[in-house]
């Protein structure tokens, strides 16, 4: 595996080595993530990001019938892009771990990272997965429920719950979505923290992330399920909870990376 460098530009002679994880590492990473969040609260930043995006999606759904069936795939697909948006949080955790006292503005210092372009390339890859998921979700809806666009979100929910085709759409749609989520998770679960920490080639970062999943399938899949459940909880609180859930998960991901990669 190629030689890699750390975030300060110093050469690291050893290639990334995967450690064994246990289920106990998940609550430990979450506790460390919560500790980082309490020391460096960023909820206002995320509130300023969440509501304009959510408002845009809901406004489009209210004004265009063809967007109504895409509301759930758009919100569910947010998890595919989450690792890219959390890079600034990894930077805060990295600086705090190094003994600094970072401010929330230090999130944006990732723009000076030597791994900026690989991180942008990986973000573009996740965006491609997101676009593909939306296209597939739209085709699934049309193929199962028909071409007629529901006039409102409530009408769509009524159709899905009342019509026999609705159960098929729920089961098949979530199964296909899980495949996209697993692909994004394997590619990016640890790639962004590794890129920020050591600035290896993008291929090395992706291979390390996939290797961590293969070496620790139960803990890593449990972590993915934990992320999904906490995001669902955040959405269930009219997205207010996401302002806490997102930064805690971002910080916790950094600490899970530290536990998984020697």
pLDDT tens, 52-93?
666 666 666 555 656 778 888 888 888 898 899 899 999 999
pLDDT at residue 127, rounded to an integer:
93
- Is residue 187 within 8 Å of residue 122, measured between CB atoms? yes
pTM, entire model:
0.86
Domain ranges of the chain: 24-260
pLDDT at residue 64, rounded to an integer:
65
Chain-centroid distance of CA 251 in Å reads 12
Cα–Cα nearest to 153, from 142, 161, 164, 144: 161
- 89-126 confidence digits (pLDDT tens): 999 999 999 999 998 889 999 999 999 999 999 999 99
Enter the DSSP assignment of 163: S
Cα–Cα nearest to 87, from 14, 246, 196: 196
Cα–Cα nearest to 94, from 185, 22, 187, 199: 199
* Three-class SS state of 189: coil
Cα–Cα nearest to 192, from 180, 208, 211, 205: 205
Rounded distance, CA 5 to CA 15, Å? Answer: 10
- Is residue 33 within 8 Å of residue 251, measured between CB atoms? yes
In DSSP terms, 4 is beta-bridged to: 12
**Dihedral sign for Cα atoms in the order 100, 104, 110, 111:** negative
């Amino acid at each position: 595996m190629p030689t890699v460098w750390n975030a300060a530009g110093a050469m690291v002679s050893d290639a990334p080595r995967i450690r064994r994880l246990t289920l106990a590492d998940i609550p430990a990473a979450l506790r460390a993530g919560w500790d980082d969040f309490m020391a460096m609260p960023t909820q206002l930043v995320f509130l300023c990001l969440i509501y304009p995006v959510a408002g845009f999606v809901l406004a489009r759904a209210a004004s265009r019938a063809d967007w109504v069936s895409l509301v759930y795939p758009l919100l569910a697909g947010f998890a595919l892009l989450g690792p890219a948006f959390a890079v600034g949080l990894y930077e805060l955790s990295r600086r705090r771990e190094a003994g600094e006292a970072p401010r929330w503005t230090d999130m944006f210092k990732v723009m000076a990272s030597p791994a900026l372009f690989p991180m942008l390339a990986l973000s573009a890859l996740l965006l491609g997965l997101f676009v593909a998921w939306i296209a597939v979700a739209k085709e699934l809806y049309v193929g199962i429920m028909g071409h007629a666009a529901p006039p409102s979100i409530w009408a769509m929910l009524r159709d899905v719950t009342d019509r026999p085709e609705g159960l098929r759409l729920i089961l098949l749609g979530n199964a296909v979505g899980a495949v996209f989520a697993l692909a994004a998770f394997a590619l990016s679960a640890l790639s962004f923290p590794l890129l920020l920490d050591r600035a290896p080639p993008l291929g090395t970062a992706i291979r390390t992330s996939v290797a961590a999943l293969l070496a620790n399938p139960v803990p890593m899949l449990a972590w993915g399920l934990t992320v999904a459940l906490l995001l669902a909880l955040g959405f269930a609180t009219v997205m207010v909870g996401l302002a806490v859930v997102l930064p805690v998960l971002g910080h916790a991901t950094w600490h899970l990376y530290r536990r998984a990669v020697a």
